[in-house]
Each structure stands twice: as C-alpha cells, then as structure tokens.
Amino acid sequence: MYPEKIENYFELIKNLLIEYSPKVITALILLFVGLWVVSIITKAFKKIMVKKEVEITLANFLGNIVFWTLRVLLFVIVISKLGFETSSLVAILGAAGLAIGLALQGSLSNFAGGVLIILFKPFKVNDVIEAQGEIGTVQEIQIFNTRLLTANNQTIYIPNGILSNGIIKNYTQEGIRRADLNIGIAYNSDIRKAKEVIMEVLNNHPKILTEPAPSVIVKELADSAINLGIRPWSKSEDFLEVSSETLIECKLALDKVNISIPFPQRELRIINEDK
C-alpha cells in the first residue's frame, strides 16, 4: 500500500512539474529580461534628460519614477504569467498603498513639496535663500528635505512640505543684489558735500556696478543725526565684500573732509523742585 501512495505522490509531482514548469521558466526568463530592459530604458531616459540640459536633480527624480513604475508593471506581468489572478493583487496593492499613504501623510506632503520645488524651481543648488527664518546656501534638493549650509558652516534640513508652502527669499536668482546701508552725519554737516564724497567712493569701487547706478539718499532726520541711505549694486557673490568695504571707505572719506558720524545724544534737564 505504501509503495502505491509513494508512486501516486511522484506521479502528482511529475504532473505538477509538467504543468507549471513552462510557466515558471517563462516567468523567470521574463523577470530577468525585464529587469535588464528596465535598466536600459532608465539609463536611456536619464541620458536624454541630460542631453536636453534638464537639471540633474529633476533628471534623477524622474528617472527613479520611471525605474520603479516599470518594475511594478514587470512584477504584475510576471505574476500573471504564473497563473495568478492579477486583479485581486492590484486591489491588495491599492489597499496597501492607501494604508501606507494615511500613515505617512507628513512624508507624502514633503514628497509633494519636493516635486513642486523641482518642477517650478523657486531656487536651485548654490542659490542663497531665506526660508523658515534661516538663511543659507542650497547644497542639495532631496525628495523629502532641502539641505542648506549657513555662513557659519551649519547644515540645516528644511522639510519640503513647509518649504514649498512658505515664503522663500532667493538672494541670488537675479544675479545682482543691492545693499541697503545707512550712515548718520551730524546736523551741522554739509549734506550735499557728504553725498558727493560718498558717491565718489561708490563710483571708484571696482566691484560696485554702474548699471543699475548706485545712489545716496537722505533717509531720515533722526534725533541725533541725519541718516543717509547708501545703495550700491553688486554681483550676488560680491555682496558681503561690497557691503563691508563700502562702509569702511565711506567712513574714511568722511573723516578726510571733517564730516563726523555723531554718537546718539540725549538732553537732560534737572528741575530743582525746592525752588
């Protein structure tokens, strides 16, 4: 009796192998060939994006989307070749995707923000921006975060969700930038002479642009001084140097013509109530 059962098992296994071996072999061949084709298509897609001079961040991002989309399609096709019902599998994947989406709402918001930043480009790598109370140079635009490097060499990660929905100041996008500097002169100073001296400093500085032209304005008649607004334009990369050197050169030039920069002054009156 036992030999008959063993023989029946072997017969069943043989029949299963005969029935499913072609499907398994076909599925495996399809899987390996498909992975190879997906890799080739992804590389070709990225090369096309590079030739079209698409920004590298966007090219990599779109390339990854193509790569994983094709892999998921290949997985569904391989499963169908094995004889499984793919409609129920797609429903399960959809339900799983919904559950994961609900659990990762914050991450999905950052992902969507990253997509918007990459597509609409409010800034790019090496731009100096101000966002969420932080100022720094953009080092990397990731899918979920943007990495900034501050002037004092601190690395800051800002989630793309709040970054894409907030106010962003891009200091380098236009290529040039205006410094808004203030110098106060004494009330007994010759205002026109002071403006003339400062304009000479601005016109002689090699890194201050002539177009747009620099300007000097009377900004305010303050309590202790006449505040002059100094407005030099420079290339974005020269902004800090120009701001510092302009203040130094203006101070030295005003000293030469005896125009002083006064200290804040207060007038005190003492009232003797005994009288």
Report, as an integer, the average pLDDT of 66-85.
77
Amino acid letter, residue 98:
L
Annotate 84-134 with three-state secondary structure.
CCHHHHHHHHHHHHHHHHHHCHHHHHHHHHHHHHHHHCCCCCCCEEEECCE
Instruction: Kindly report the pTM of this predicted structure.
Output: 0.61
pLDDT, one tens digit per residue, over 218-256 is 999 988 899 999 999 999 889 999 999 999 999 999 999
Mean pLDDT for the chain overall: 81
- Domain 122-170 belongs to what topology? SH3 type barrels. (2.30.30)
Strand partners, 141: 146
Q: At what angle do helices 191-204 and 239-256 cross, to 10 degrees?
A: 140
- Contact between 156 and 134 under an 8 Å Cβ cutoff? The reply is yes
DSSP code of 249?
H
CATH architecture type of domain 176-256: 2-Layer Sandwich (3.30)
Task: Give the fold, CATH level 3, of 2-103.
Answer: Helix Hairpins (1.10.287)
**pLDDT tier at 118 (50, 70, 90 boundaries)?**
confident
Residue 69 near residue 29, CB atoms below 8 Å: no
Domain residue ranges of the chain, discontinuous segments joined by +: 2-103, 122-170, 176-256
| pLDDT tens digits, 154-200 | 999 999 989 988 899 999 889 999 999 999 999 999 999 999 999 99
Q: Which helix (H) or strand (E) holds 159?
A: strand 155-159
